[in-house]
A and B are shown apart, each in its own frame.
Chain A
Amino acid sequence: NAGVTQTPKFQVLKTGQSMTLQCAQDMNHEYMSWYRQDPGMGLRLIHYSVGAGITDQGEVPNGYNVSRSTTEDFPLRLLSAAPSQTSVYFCASSVGLTNTGELFFGEGSRLTVL
């Protein structure tokens, strides 16, 4: 009963390095999304997808890329990491497009950029 799986759980990068945060769900959910959470702030939407092959930008997309080649996977790529991208990242999915607010979250990925 995996639900939403994020890897890695912890990562330390140097400025300028690239990396991919992986997200997979086994619930056949159409909607998937990525958020970052910083101290004192709410979760902020980075990118989202309403189905395979479809992605769109959220509130804070700069510095991040996504793709959705399958229903199950929604990786988040940091192209050139910056200290401002130090954060906790959450991937989430929901079963349908009419109830995209009813999200299932992964356990989070804690990223530090030095």
Chain B
Amino acid sequence: RKEVEQDPGPFNVPEGATVAFNCTYSNSASQSFFWYRQDCRKEPKLLMSVYSSGNEDGRFTAQLNRASQYISLLIRDSKLSDSATYLCVVNRDYKLSFGAGTTVTVRA
């Protein structure tokens, strides 16, 4: 079983829409959680850390459910520039595990 699993999508949404997706992780001892963004053939870039109480960064909201071992990301008022692959990342003892990514395409 993969340590981090994501719905690969693609999620194809119109500008201004809200899109949300989850990832699940298998190891309950995981310590910290993140969402990264990766554009085609580019390096991943940190989008936001995910905290137990949930957190927002502008139009992005992340949630963590430790009991059910899943992390979610919600994007409000989608922009064309939000088109990317979103990577779920889980950290345990300095070892990071990446999901394969969820592809989001925002259309005009």
Cβ B97 vs Cβ A45 within 8 A: yes
Cβ B46 vs Cβ A50 within 8 A: no
For residue B94, give the distance in angstroms from its CB to the closest CB of chain A. Answer: 5
Q: Which residues of B contact A58 (CB under 8 A)?
A: 95
Size band of the interface chain A makes with B:
20 to 34
Interface size on B, residues (CB 8 A): 24
Cβ A44 vs Cβ B94 within 8 A: no
Q: Is B32 an interface residue (CB 8 A)?
A: yes
Cβ B95 vs Cβ A42 within 8 A: no
Cβ B43 vs Cβ A101 within 8 A: no
At the interface with chain A, which of B11-19, B76-84, B98-106?
Answer: B98-106
Of chain A, the residue at the smallest CB distance from B46 is A102
For residue A74, give the distance in angstroms from its CB to the closest CB of chain B. Answer: 14
Q: How far is the CA of A100 from the CA of B91 in the complex (A)?
A: 8
**Ranked 7 nearest A-B pairs via Cβ:** A42-B98, A105-B43, A101-B91, A43-B98, A42-B100, A101-B34, A101-B32
Sample of 11 further A-B pairs with CB below 8 A, known A42-B100, A105-B43: A33-B96, A42-B4, A42-B101, A43-B87, A45-B96, A59-B97, A101-B32, A102-B46, A103-B36, A103-B96, A106-B43
